[in-house]
Amino acid sequence: MLKIEKSIRERRSVRTFDDQELTKQDREKLSEFMKNIDLPFDMSIEFQFLEKMSCPVVVGTDLYVGAKVKDLPFLNEAFGYAFEKFILYAQSLGIGTVWIGGTMDRDAFTKAMNLKDDELMLCVSPIGYPARKMSMRETLMRKGINADERKSFEEIVFEKSFDSPMSADSANHLFLALEMVRLAPSAVNRQPWRILVDQNCVHFYLKRTKGFNGGKIDMQKIDMGIALCHFDLMCEELGIKTEFVMKDPELASKDFEYIASYRIVR
């Protein structure tokens, strides 16, 4: 299995950690990685370790990573892309993480991040080694949101029009990259990404969940950034050359919101 594919398939949210401190080597590796995260957006995301923090759903570690972003257009998508890249890297080292955007004391984390007026802190993650057994709370939480389930390929990927679901077979060489989007984490596991493959372009749309209307901090746009990250990293690993485009192709899109596209160059 390819490296990114393995990290994506093996990652799950970890909310129960084993109380062991992160080794110095692992901390250094994460520290180096977070300084140099490339993005398709013209923006930089600043990461930092946060010590002695807590969240109601997390046990067994008090080390967190947070990140801040300037208040610019596409801040949520850019944040989602960058933070997921970090999460997949942590996964490759055997380090557990979970996206936390809701179940936290936002004021406490915002304060710990020392935000400037034009900066926002969108999500954080605890960092540590997964415990062998999940807490009862975590097990129940996963059941409550069907965290182990994903929509089928045909529910997410379409060909030429949103009336025409794409089968895994007809996705050909793009199948794995699209499948990696399907397996992505999303807020409350809502999986709001919809993809339209049209000629040599792969267009990403947001099917907004009712009641999830985002303000400046928009969890479902963060989900879209995560989807773009999975697609991009998998294409890169498969040697599929792509170009990132943010231009609405103005195809019939039901009530879905256009986000961005990858043009397949070869």
Ligand X SMILES: Cc1cc2nc3c(=O)[nH]c(=O)nc-3n(C[C@H](O)[C@H](O)[C@H](O)COP(=O)(O)O)c2cc1C
Chain residues that interact with ligand X, rule: CB under 6 A: 12-13, 15, 57, 98-103, 123, 145, 147, 185-189, 219, 222-223, 226
The region, left, alpha or beta by phi > 0 then psi within -120 to 50, assigned to residue 60 is left
Nearest distance in Å: CB 103, ligand X: 4
The residue number with the shortest CB distance to ligand X is: 185
Nearest distance in Å: CB 117, ligand X: 24
Neighbours of 2 (CB within 10 A): 14
Nearest distance in Å: CB 180, ligand X: 13
Nearest distance in Å: CB 77, ligand X: 11
Neighbours of 7 (CB within 10 A): 20
Q: Count of alpha carbons within 13 Å of 59, Cβ hemisphere only? A: 10
| Tokens encoding 220 | 């479902």
Nearest distance in Å: CB 89, ligand X: 16
Cβ proximity to ligand X, 53 vs 240, nearer residue = 53
Give the amino acid at 193. W
Task: Name 20's Cβ contacts closer than 8 Å, sequence gap at least 6.
Answer: 128, 129
> What DSSP string describes 165-232?
EPPTGGGGGGHHHHHHHHT---GGG---EEEEEETTEEEEEE-PPTT---SSS-HHHHHHHHHHHHHH
Cβ proximity to ligand X, 12 vs 70, nearer residue = 12
* 161 phi, psi to nearest 5 deg: -150, 150
